[in-house]
A = this chain, B = another copy of it.
């Protein structure tokens, strides 16, 4: 299978390779007839431009990096990857994937990928942007970057951000429970200093405060470990110590899944005995039983914006950085019940 090049197409269409190149890149100033002739030749020869030659010549890798901040096989990360991949493809870019979890020497790997012109810029997710060594090297090279769910702003560097308001999201979740008539609401989350976690807990507290309810430390479980375990053991402890809790707010949907298992294990039912709200709206949330009421974060939109802005920044380094907060929304499914309406108890 001899490789088809511009040369072949040009010959077939009876034009110069530069003209074929123009048609390929939709550059102006090519007559319609010529364009048609070239397109025909391209189609007939089934020509696809050599991406390496393109990159070398243009100096653009046509690829963006994504550094995920959690295990690749977590629901959140894999959805982010899926959406980012989709957006890259749409823009004609390819995606270079990196994971802080699996790779040693991750900083080296990412920097080398940039230096080796394998990517034009990088999207950093949550914990990926926590790596000071990585960030300072990225800055030193002035690598176009956008951070998803930043834990903090980076004063020195010219970075862009896309995030959600975790505080508000948690507030929406807990406020919903309060509206349903719940008064004794527990909270289960990670024992982490990430603002993502602390904000969600703070939002829980805020919702309580706004309703004139007390924030009780003994109703707030902060546990370290695997998400499901955190939810399971957290719920067991909380419900054993305080059987009068009628609702539980879980810091993530994965935690919520552990919470559900715990509730069942205690011989209780969801939502009959205990209502549960999660956070993130991972794909499982709608699939499990009962379908989980949760706070949706628009990963698809976040990915779309991140990719679009990053590419724009690559094309125009003077592009102004962005700092967007995407809206979260309450998705009501079947894991909560209204207390007041239940006259049978």
Beyond A1-B142, A258-B289, A260-B261, whether A72 also contacts B78 by CB under 8 A is yes
Tell me if A61 is interfacial: C-beta within 8 Å of chain B: yes
Across-interface contacts of A75 in B (CB, < 8 A): 73
CB pair A116–B261 under 8 Å, yes or no, is no
Chain A 65-80 against B: per-residue CB contact (8 Å), 1 yes, 0 no? 0000001111101110
Q: Please indicate the chain B residues that have their CB under 8 angstroms from the CB of A61 in the complex.
A: 52
Which of A12-20, A227-235, A306-314 lies at the interface? A227-235
Within 8 A of B (CB), among A53-112: 53-56, 61, 71-75, 77-79, 81-82, 85-86, 89, 94-97, 99, 102-103, 109, 112
A118 to B, closest residue via Cβ: B51
Instruction: Across the interface, name the chain B residue whose C-beta is closest to A269.
Output: B265
Chain B residue with Cβ nearest A60: B52
Q: How many of A's residues come within 8 Å of B, CB to CB?
A: 60
Which one of B49, B56, B73, B229 contacts A82 once the chains associate, using CB atoms below 8 Å? B73
The answer to whether the Cβ of A124 comes within 8 Å of any Cβ in the partner chain is: no
What is the bound-complex CA distance between A34 and B261, given in angstroms?
A: 64
Q: Name the residue of chain B whose CB is nearest to the CB of A258.
A: B289
Q: How far is the CB of A257 from chain B (nearest CB, A)?
A: 8
CB contacts (< 8 Å) of A52 on chain B: these are 51-56, 61, 117
Residues of B within 8 A of A95 (CB): 97
Question: Quick one: given A50-B117, A117-B51, are A284 and B86 in contact (CB under 8 Å)?
Answer: no
Contacts of A4 in B (CB 8 A): 115
CB distance from A332 to the nearest CB of B (A): 19
A117 to B53, CA, bound (A): 9
Residues of B within 8 A of A257 (CB): 288
Distance in angstroms from A307 CB to nearest chain B CB is 14
Q: A48-B112, A50-B56, A265-B289 are in contact. Are A94 and B73 (CB under 8 A)?
A: no
Q: Does A156 contact B (CB under 8 A)?
A: no
Q: Which B-chain residue is minimally distant from A143 (CB atoms)?
A: B1
A232-B48 CB under 8 A given contacts A53-B56, A56-B53, A72-B78: no
A-B contact pairs, 17 of them (CB 8 A): A47-B115, A50-B56, A52-B55, A52-B61, A71-B283, A72-B78, A72-B79, A72-B81, A73-B78, A85-B97, A86-B102, A228-B284, A228-B287, A258-B287, A258-B288, A265-B269, A265-B289
Beyond known contacts A82-B102, A94-B118: 6 more, CB 8 A cutoff: A72-B81, A72-B85, A73-B79, A73-B283, A74-B78, A78-B78
Residues of A at under 8 Å CB distance from B?
A: 1, 4, 46-56, 61, 71-75, 77-79, 81-82, 85-86, 89, 94-97, 99, 102-103, 109, 112, 115-118, 141-142, 226-229, 232, 257-258, 260-262, 264-265, 269, 283-284, 287-289
